[in-house]
Amino acid sequence: MAQYTLEDLLNLMARLRDPETGCPWDIRQNFASIAPYTLEEAHEVADAIASEDYPHLEEELGDLLFQVVYHARMAEERSLFDFSSVLNGLVEKLIRRHPHVFPDGTLASSRSDAELVDEADVKRRWQEIKQAEKQASSGKKPSGLLDDLPASLPALKSAQAIQAKAAGQGFDWSDAGPVFDKLREEIDELEQAWRSNSSASVRDETGDLLFSCVNLARHVGADAEQSLLGCNHKFRRRFSYIEQRLQEQDKSLQDCSLEELDALWDDAKSSGL
């Protein structure tokens, strides 16, 4: 079996985009038309992780890498940049943002094993370095801390990023205790809004509750996005179990009471699904 290299992948991409001998579909693509596929592949990577489907993860990581190569090839055709400059820029940035690992600013450098590194300090310094980079590249004064977050981020992911950035500057509770209290407070406020029959207030309070849930996930060491993806998969497995059992009994969901469905749900749960 052939063992291909990154160079093979780059050459394959160039051939797909060759104006005379390439693939007609690939030739007519541009950044905007490929971007949705890039997002889709990133979500499929996250989905494979949530499912703990590691053979599938291997495949999806390859698909995501292909998206990077695709964009780099289109950029090279327009003399904007190429894959090697993407790679060089990435390595340089990671070295620059990890001075606690590469104190001399080179891959060859290394820190002393005796030097202790605090994770909170690492995150704070990362944000400081990132802000300094933006100022140096734009020549402008630093923008607001949250201004560089992509507007296209899904709401859950955006909440995680917002909170992480604020926490990196000390705007955060020191432990999860107060976050549990805040979550209970938001539940009470949502219930009050619901009882007042105010749709606008219900929407606002629902947002506050979800934001607090993300904050709690962060404080207890869980990634909110991955946690919810895992829950979605679990629900689908158990719901499929219910459908299969009912099919065996020649019954439909509508034929059953909620109590009967709950009993089947508990069966699925006890079976490890």
3-50 per-position pLDDT tens digit: 999 999 999 999 999 999 999 999 999 999 999 999 899 989 988 888
Q: Is residue 186 within 8 Å of residue 205, measured between CB atoms?
A: yes
pLDDT tier at 76 (50, 70, 90 boundaries)? very high
Q: What is the DSSP string of the chain?
A: -----HHHHHHHHHHHT-TTTS-HHHHT--HHHHHHHHHHHHHHHHHHHHTT-HHHHHHHHHHHHHHHHHHHHHHHHTTS--HHHHHHHHHHHHHHT-TTT-TTSSTT----TT----HHHHHHHHHHHHHHHHHHHH-S----TTTTS-TTS-HHHHHHHHHHHHHHTT-S-SSSHHHHHHHHHHHHHHHHHHHTT-HHHHHHHHHHHHHHHHHHHHHTT--HHHHHHHHHHHHHHHHHHHHHHHHHTT--GGGS-HHHHHHHHHHHHHTT-
More confident of the two residues 233 and 116: 233
Work out the pLDDT band at 209, boundaries 50, 70, 90: very high
pLDDT at 139 over 90: no
Backbone angles phi, psi at 103, to 5 degrees: -60, -25
The pTM of this model reads: 0.64
State the pLDDT confidence band at 124, using cuts at 50, 70 and 90. confident
Q: Which amino acid is at 27?
A: I
- Confidence band, pLDDT 50/70/90 cuts, at residue 195: very high
Give the residue, 176 or 117, on which the prediction is more confident. 176
Residue 110's Cα: distance from chain center in Å? 30
**Residues 267, 241 contacting (CB under 8 angstroms):** yes
Q: For residue 227, what are its two tokens?
A: 């946690």
Average pLDDT, the chain: 89
> 173-222: same fold as 6-138?
yes
At residue 142, does pLDDT exceed 60? no
Q: Which residue has the higher pLDDT, 28 or 168?
A: 28
User: pLDDT at position 126, please?
Assistant: 75
Domains of the chain, residue spans: 6-138, 173-222, 226-270
> CATH fold of 6-138, please?
Helix Hairpins (1.10.287)
Mean pLDDT along residues 111-133: 69
Which of residues 21 and 1 earns the better pLDDT score? Answer: 21
The amino acid at residue 203 is R
Comparing 228 with 84, the larger pLDDT belongs to 84
For residue 20, give both structure tokens. 């005379």
The span from the CA of 229 to the CA of 238, in Å, is 14
Pick the CATH number of 173-222 from 1.10.287.1080, 3.40.109.10, 3.30.360.10, 3.40.630.30: 1.10.287.1080
Decide if pLDDT at 230 tops 50. yes
Look at residue 114 and tell me whether its pLDDT is greater than 50: no
pLDDT digits 0-9 by tens, 60-74: 999 999 999 999 999
Picking from 129, 145, 134, the residue whose alpha carbon sits closest to that of residue 96 is 129
